[in-house]
Amino acid sequence: MTDVTTFYVTVDVVLFTIRDRKLHLLLTRRLAKLFENHYALPGGFVTEDESLDAAAMRELAEETGLLDVHLEQLYTFGDPGRDFRGRTITVAYYGLVPHDQRLQSLTDGCNATWFPVTDLPQMAFDHRKIAEYALERIRNEIDHSNVVFELLHGRFTLTELQSVHQAILGQPLDKRNFRRKVLQKGIVEPTQEWRQTGRKPAQLYRFVQADAARG
């Protein structure tokens, strides 16, 4: 084992949310010398005794204050030359959070900001590629996975759920078809609560966790 190359290993998180009915993702401003002031995905080095999943959660918490975010592994990027400081591979994750989360960095100054996915700034390293890969993935998985429910709180109206789908796909959906589909898939069920905000009260639904699958 002594003559074997070792690597720096980082995790990077592509975190999505919806604001103004549009899909956004979170970028931080880099403080370090390399790529100083460029935008980058939240992330950082994996430490000695934590799993990759745990590292992704920890880094996200440190840079945004967000806890208990459900993350899924996306892909591992490891081309030589993707980080000039040394041989570094990054394990990318993605996740979604409700739109109203307050962000606060523990490591002050890294200034996390939401950007619409249609209008992303220049990014450090190969983070642009990672972000686009994540976007492609959630669009492909929206119908088969339950990650979308991470964007909503426990109870939600079907219109809210539809709005989430539309934001991710970037296109409108038919209301009646959408409602029929999610109801007969059995992934949501009605509650006896109603949302009073707005004009006519709307019935609230909840996500049915039949099998907590990887999705």
Supply the minimum distance, in Å, between the C-beta of residue 39 and DNA: 32
CA distances from 198 to 157, 194, 195, 201, 209 (A): 12, 11, 8, 7, 29
Task: Answer yes or no whether residue 89 interacts with a second copy by CB under 8 A.
Answer: yes
Cβ–Cβ under 8 Å, residues 105 and 66: no
Q: Which of residues 152-181 bind a second copy (CB under 8 A)?
A: none
Question: Which residues within the stretch 64-93 sit at the binding site for DNA (CB under 7 A)?
Answer: none
Does residue number 176 form part of the binding site for DNA (CB under 7 A)? yes
Per DSSP, the residues of 100-156 read TPPP--SSTT---EEEETTS---BSTTHHHHHHHHHHHHHHHTTT-SGGGGGS-SEE
Cβ–Cβ under 8 Å, residues 195 and 50: no
- Shortest distance in whole angstroms from residue 151 CB to a second copy: 24
Q: Which residue has the tokens 């492609």?
A: 136
- Give the whole-angstrom CA distance, residue 87 versus residue 81: 7
Site string for a second copy, 55-74 (x = CB under 8 A): ------------------x-
The site partner of 103 among a second copy, DNA, none (C-beta below 5 to 8 Å per kind) is: none
Q: Select the binding partner of residue 52 from DNA, a second copy, none (C-beta < 5 to 8 A, by kind).
A: a second copy
The one-letter amino acid code at 113 reads T
Among 22, 29, 87, 128, binds a second copy (CB under 8 A): 87
**Whether the Cβ atoms of residue 62 and residue 107 lie closer than 8 Å to each other:** yes
Site for a second copy, residues 5 to 64, rule: CB under 8 A: 5-9, 45-52
Q: Give the one residue of 5, 51, 177, 192 binding DNA; rule: CB under 7 A.
A: 177
Number of residues that bind a second copy (CB under 8 A): 26
> Which chain residues interact with a second copy by CB under 8 A?
1, 4-9, 45-52, 73, 75-76, 78-80, 85-87, 89, 91
